Amino acid sequence: MMGKSAVAKSYGRSLLWLALFTAIAVGVMNLVELTLIDFVHGNPHRPQSNALFMMVVFTPLFGVIGAIGTFLVFTLPQLFQAALIVILGRTFGDRARFAALLALPLTAILTWYSYDYLTPTDFNLAINTGPDWVPFRHGLSLSRFMSSLAVQAPVTLFSLLYFDAGLRGNSKRLIVVTSLAIAIVVGLTGGYLRAQNQLQFL
């Protein structure tokens, strides 16, 4: 049966997994970018010893930052979905778990709100205040909503599949391993794209 405690534990653990996946994706992205720029292409502006130092120091640092960002952005949406399942579960039973999919548009709005107001998106070091600099503007537009929806959809799907596996008594290993593989692919792709963007300036 689907109890309040079971829902809370499952969605809490899902959030921890998501934070780990984000940390891995960000770490892989940093490693791939530095490898391509400094060791494959050859960066004339930075010695390879410095690149190795950046790999060792910045990779875990960026991973921690990515994990913290995950908690800031997705904690409120996870709480919302878990609460929705618990409330609707009193009427619809185990079928209430699928309400997370139906409520995805509302969850995406919460995701954007968390990103918009709980992360330092308008952080400024006073070095980018030239004539072309535009300060960050809060608010939800259609394009921002669609971006938020695109990010929240796989998060919701993972949390639902993870919870469903536990509800059915099935192993969650396949879901976790598949998601880990996706995180690595995202990191590889992101690192490659970032490197290609940086190489044009070398």
- What is the number of structural domains in the chain? 1
Contacts of 159 (CB under 8 A, 6+ apart): 10, 11, 14, 15, 18, 78, 81, 100
Q: Residue 201 CB: number of other CB atoms within 10 A?
A: 6
Domain containing residue 151: 4-117+139-199
Q: Is residue 15 part of a domain?
A: yes
Q: Is residue 134 part of a domain?
A: no
Single pTM value for the model: 0.88
Q: Is residue 131 part of a domain?
A: no
Q: Is residue 61 part of a domain?
A: yes
Q: Is residue 133 part of a domain?
A: no
Q: Is residue 122 part of a domain?
A: no
Q: Is residue 123 part of a domain?
A: no
In the prediction, which pLDDT does 5 show? Answer: 92
Angle in degrees, CA 12, 85, 174, rounded to 5: 50
Distance of CA 115 to CAs 5, 37, 72, 183, Å? 27, 30, 7, 20
Q: One digit per residue, pLDDT tens: the chain, 202 residues?
A: 578 899 999 999 999 999 999 999 999 999 999 999 989 888 788 888 898 999 999 999 999 999 999 999 999 999 999 999 999 999 999 999 999 999 999 999 999 999 988 887 655 544 445 555 555 567 888 999 999 999 999 999 999 999 999 999 899 999 999 999 999 999 999 999 999 988 877 6
* 192 class by beta-carbon count within 10 Å (0-12 exposed, 13-18 middle, 19+ buried): middle
Q: Residue 106 CB: number of other CB atoms within 10 A?
A: 13
165-170, long-range: CB < 8 A, 24+ apart: 166/6, 166/10, 167/2, 167/6, 167/94, 167/97
> Residue 187's Cα: distance from chain center in Å?
11
Q: Is residue 128 part of a domain?
A: no
